[in-house]
A and B are shown apart, each in its own frame.
Chain A
Amino acid sequence: KNEVEQSPQNLTAQEGEFITINCSYSVGISALHWLQQHPGGGIVSLFMLSSGKKKHGRLIATINIQEKHSSLHITASHPRDSAVYICAPIKAAGNKLTFGGGTRVLVKP
Chain B
Amino acid sequence: ETGVTQSPTHLIKTRGQQVTLRCSSQSGHNTVSWYQQALGQGPQFIFQYYREEENGRGNFPPRFSGLQFPNYSSELNVNALELDDSALYLCASSLAGRADTQYFGPGTRLTVL
Interfacial residues, chain A to chain B (CB-CB below 8 A): 4, 30-31, 33, 35, 40-45, 48, 86, 88, 90, 94-102
A30, A33, A41, A95: which contacts B88 (Cβ < 8 A)?
A: A41
Decide if B106 touches A41 in the complex (CB within 8 Å): yes
State A10–B109 Cα separation when bound (angstroms).
23
Given A41-B107, A42-B106, A42-B107 in contact, is the A97-B44 Cβ separation under 8 Å? no
State A102–B40 Cα separation when bound (angstroms).
8
Decide if A86 touches B43 in the complex (CB within 8 Å): yes
Closest chain B CB from A26 CB (angstroms): 15
A45, A86, A96, A101: which contacts B56 (Cβ < 8 A)?
A: A96
A-facing residues in B56-113 (Cβ within 8 Å):
56, 88, 90, 92, 97-100, 102-107, 109
State A95–B33 Cα separation when bound (angstroms).
12
Decide if A44 touches B2 in the complex (CB within 8 Å): yes
- Say which size band chain B's interface belongs to: 20 to 34
Given A41-B107, A86-B43, A100-B42 in contact, is the A33-B56 Cβ separation under 8 Å? no
Decide if B48 touches A96 in the complex (CB within 8 Å): yes
Interfacial residues, chain B to chain A (CB-CB below 8 A): 2, 33, 35, 37, 40-45, 48, 56, 88, 90, 92, 97-100, 102-107, 109
Smallest CB gap from A2: residue in B: B42
Smallest CB gap from B89: residue in A: A41
Closest chain A CB from B3 CB (angstroms): 13
Name, among B98, B99, B104, the residue most crowded by chain A CB atoms within 10 Å (CB to CB): B99
A31, A90, A102: which contacts B42 (Cβ < 8 A)?
A: A102
Decide if B102 touches A33 in the complex (CB within 8 Å): yes
